[in-house]
C-alpha cells in the first residue's frame, strides 16, 4: 500500500512543488523592482483569480472523485461521461467569466483595499490574465480526471510544462522586457494555453476512447446531472468559504498598509509551499479513496487512511524545523526591502506552527473528495469559517492587530482537521454516504471483479 500511495503522491509532489516555486519567482522578480506596490499588485491580482478560479475548483475535485469511483467499479462509459460533462461545464463557466470580466474587476477592487498604485497595476494584471480562463478551467477537469483514473504522471507532466514555461516567461517579460507585473500576467496566460495543448495531446495518446462523444441528451440526463451538480454545489460552497477566508486575510492585510501586505503575502508562501507539497498525498487520498469505495473494499480504505496520516505527520515535522531555522534567509531571497524584512520578524512563529497543525485538514480533504462526501466537506468548512475564523479575528483584532489574522487562520485550520476527523465514520466509512449517482450505483451492485478495466477500454 505504501507503494500505491507513493506512486500517486510523488508525481503530484514533483508537480506541486513547482507551483509555490512559481509563486516565489513571481514575487521575487517583482520584489526586486523599484516600488513595493508591484508585490501588492501581484498579490491583489492573484487574490481575484483565486476567488474566481478556486470557485470552480469543484471541476477538478468532483471529476477526480467520480472518475476514481468509476475506475474502481470498472465502468469505462461512466468515466468517459464524467470527463465530457466536466469539460462542457468548464467551457460554459469560462465563457461567463470572459463576458463578465468588467463587473468582476470593478466589484473586486471595490472590496479589496489597496493603495492607488497597487490597484492600478493589479487592474492591468487582471485584464491580461483573465483571458486564460478557458485553458485554466479545462485543465481543472482534465487533471482531475487523469488522477481519478489512477494516472498521476500526466498531471505532473502538464503542471511541469505550465510552471516551467511560466517561470521562463517571468524572466523574459519582467526582467528582460521590463514589463513589471504585466509580464507576470502575460506569462501565466501563455503558459496555461501551452499546458492545455499538452493535456489534450496526452489524452488523445493514452485514452483515445474518451473522444467518442456521448450524445448531448445523455450528458444532460436529469438523474446523473442532478447528482453531478449536487456534489459540485457542495464543493463550490466549501471552496467559497476557503476563498472567503484567504481573500479576507489579504484584504485586511492591505488595510494595514503596503508593508504589512507585503509581509503577510511573503509569509503565506511558507504555508503555500507546504500545502502544495502535502497535497501530493491528498491527491493520492482522492484516487485511492475513490477506487476502494468504487470497489466496495472497506478494509483497504481504512488501511490507506491510516498510512496517509502517518505520512502527513512525518512530513510536517521537517517543514516546521526548516521554517524555525531558516525563515529569515528564505525571506531574504524573496525581497531585499529592509523595511519588509524587519517588519516580518514578529510573525515567524506562525509560519513555523502551520505545518504541524494543518496536515490533517489537507489529508481529510483528499479523502472526502475521493468519497464524494461533499456534504461533509461543506458542513465542516462552513462551521470552521463562520464559527471559528471570523469570530476569532473579530474578538482579537484590537489587542493583537495583524497577529489576529494569523491566530484566526491557525484556529481555522485546526478546526477543519478536527471536525472532518470526528465526522469520518459517518461520511467516509459508511458507503451509503458515498456517491449516489444512479448508474454508478447500479454498476457497483453488479460486483467489483471488473475493477480497472475501464482504463484499458478507454485506451483503445
pLDDT of residue 362: 92
What distance in Å separates the CA atoms of residue 213 and residue 262, rounded to the nearest whole number? 48
More confident residue, 171 or 50: 171
Q: Give the percent of the chain with pLDDT over 90.
A: 33
Q: State the chain's maximal CA–CA distance in angstroms.
A: 66
Helix, strand or coil, per DSSP, at residue 343: helix
Pick the residue with more confidence: 117 or 245? 245
What pLDDT does 19 receive? Answer: 63
Residue bearing cell 489534450: 200
Q: For residue 155, which phi and psi values (nearest 5 degrees)?
A: -55, -35
Instruction: Tell me the per-residue pLDDT of 277-308, one tens digit each, with 9 for 90 and over.
Output: 888 899 899 989 988 888 888 888 999 999 99
Q: For residue 450, name the pLDDT band (cuts at 50, 70, 90).
A: very low
Residue 335 has pLDDT above 80, yes or no: no
The whole-angstrom distance between residue 369's C-alpha and the CA centroid of its chain comes to 12
Question: pLDDT at residue 455 above 90?
Answer: no
State the pLDDT at residue 80.
Answer: 85
Q: pLDDT category, 211, cuts 50, 70, 90?
A: confident
pLDDT at 54 over 90: no
Q: Torsions phi, psi of 74, nearest 5?
A: 70, 30
Task: Look at residue 31 and tell me whether its pLDDT is greater than 80.
Answer: no
Per-residue pLDDT, 435: 44
Which alpha helices (DSSP H) does 55-173 contain, by range?
Answer: 58-73, 76-99, 101-111, 116-129, 133-148, 153-170
pLDDT of residue 316: 94
SS3 207: coil
Residue 93 has pLDDT above 50, yes or no: yes
Q: Stretch 172-194: mean pLDDT, rounded?
A: 85
- Are 457 and 212 a contacting pair, CB within 8 Å? no
Which of 4-13, 239-248, 406-415 is predicted most confidently?
Answer: 406-415
Residue 184, Cα to own-chain centre: how many angstroms?
20
pTM beyond 0.85, yes or no: no
Q: Evaluate if residue 355 carries a pLDDT over 80.
A: yes
Alpha helix positions (H), 258-297: 258-294
Q: In angstroms, what CA-CA distances link 274 with 114, 162, 283, 311, 316?
A: 27, 20, 14, 13, 8
Most confident of the ranges 231-235, 399-403, 405-409: 405-409
Report pLDDT for 216. Answer: 65
The pLDDT of residue 243: 81
Residue-by-residue DSSP string for 161-190: HHHHHHHHHHIIIIIIS--HHHHHHHHHHH
Digit-coded pLDDT (tens) for 360-397? 999 999 999 988 888 899 999 999 999 999 999 999 99
Amino acid at each position: 500500500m505504501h507503494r500505491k500511495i507513493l506512486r500517486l503522491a510523488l508525481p503530484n509532489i514533483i508537480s506541486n512543488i513547482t507551483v509555490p516555486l512559481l509563486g516565489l519567482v513571481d514575487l521575487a522578480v517583482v520584489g526586486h523592482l523599484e516600488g513595493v506596490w508591484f508585490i501588492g499588485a501581484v498579490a491583489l491580482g492573484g487574490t481575484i483569480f483565486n476567488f474566481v478560479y478556486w470557485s470552480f475548483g469543484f471541476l477538478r475535485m468532483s471529476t477526480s472523485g467520480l472518475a476514481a469511483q468509476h475506475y474502481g467499479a470498472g465502468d469505462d462509459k461512466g468515466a468517459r461521461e464524467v470527463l465530457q460533462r466536466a469539460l462542457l461545464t468548464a467551457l460554459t463557466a469560462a465563457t461567463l467569466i470572459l463576458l463578465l470580466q468588467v463587473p468582476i474587476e470593478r466589484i473586486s477592487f471595490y472590496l479589496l483595499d489597496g493603495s492607488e498604485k497597487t490597484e492600478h497595476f493589479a487592474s492591468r494584471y487582471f485584464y491580461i490574465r483573465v483571458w486564460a480562463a478557458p485553458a485554466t478551467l479545462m485543465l481543472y477537469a482534465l487533471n482531475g480526471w487523469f488522477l481519478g483514473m489512477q494516472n498521476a504522471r500526466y498531471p505532473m507532466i502538464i503542471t511541469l510544462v505550465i510552471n516551467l514555461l511560466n517561470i521562463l516567461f517571468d524572466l523574459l517579460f519582467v526582467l528582460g522586457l521590463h514589463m513589471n507585473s504585466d509580464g507576470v500576467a502575460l506569462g501565466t496566460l501563455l503558459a496555461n494555453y501551452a499546458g492545455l495543448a499538452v493535456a489534450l495531446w496526452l489524452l488523445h495518446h493514452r485514452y483515445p476512447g474518451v473522444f467518442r462523444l456521448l450524445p448531448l441528451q445523455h450528458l444532460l440526463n436529469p438523474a446523473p446531472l442532478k447528482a453531478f451538480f449536487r456534489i459540485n454545489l457542495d464543493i463550490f460552497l466549501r471552496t467559497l468559504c476557503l476563498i472567503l477566508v484567504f481573500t479576507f486575510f489579504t484584504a485586511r492585510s492591505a488595510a494595514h498598509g503596503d508593508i504589512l501586505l507585503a509581509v503577510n503575502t511573503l509569509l503565506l508562501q511558507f504555508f503555500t509551499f507546504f500545502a502544495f507539497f502535502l497535497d501530493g498525498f491528498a491527491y493520492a487520498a482522492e484516487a485511492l479513496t475513490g477506487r476502494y469505495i468504487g470497489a466496495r473494499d472497506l478494509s483497504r480504505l481504512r488501511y490507506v487512511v491510516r498510512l496517509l496520516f502517518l505520512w502527513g505527520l512525518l512530513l510536517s515535522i521537517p517543514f516546521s524545523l526548516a521554517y524555525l531555522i531558516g525563515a529569515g534567509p528564505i525571506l531574504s531571497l524573496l525581497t531585499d526591502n529592509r523595511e519588509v524584512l524587519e517588519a516580518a520578524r514578529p510573525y515567524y512563529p506562525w509560519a513555523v506552527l502551520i505545518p504541524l497543525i494543518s496536515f490533517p485538514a489537507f489529508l481529510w480533504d483528499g479523502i472526502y473528495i475521493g468519497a464524494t462526501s461533499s456534504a461533509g466537506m461543506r458542513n465542516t468548512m462552513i462551521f470552521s469559517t463562520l464559527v471559528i475564523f471570523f469570530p476569532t479575528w473579530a474578538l482579537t483584532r484590537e489587542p493583537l492587530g495583524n497577529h489576529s489574522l494569523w491566530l484566526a487562520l491557525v484556529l481555522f485550520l485546526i478546526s477543519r482537521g478536527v471536525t472532518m476527523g470526528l465526522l469520518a465514520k459517518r461520511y467516509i466509512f459508511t458507503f451509503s454516504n458515498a456517491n449516489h449517482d444512479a448508474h454508478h450505483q447500479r454498476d457497483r451492485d453488479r460486483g467489483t471483479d471488473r475493477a480497472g478495466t475501464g482504463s484499458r477500454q478507454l485506451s483503445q
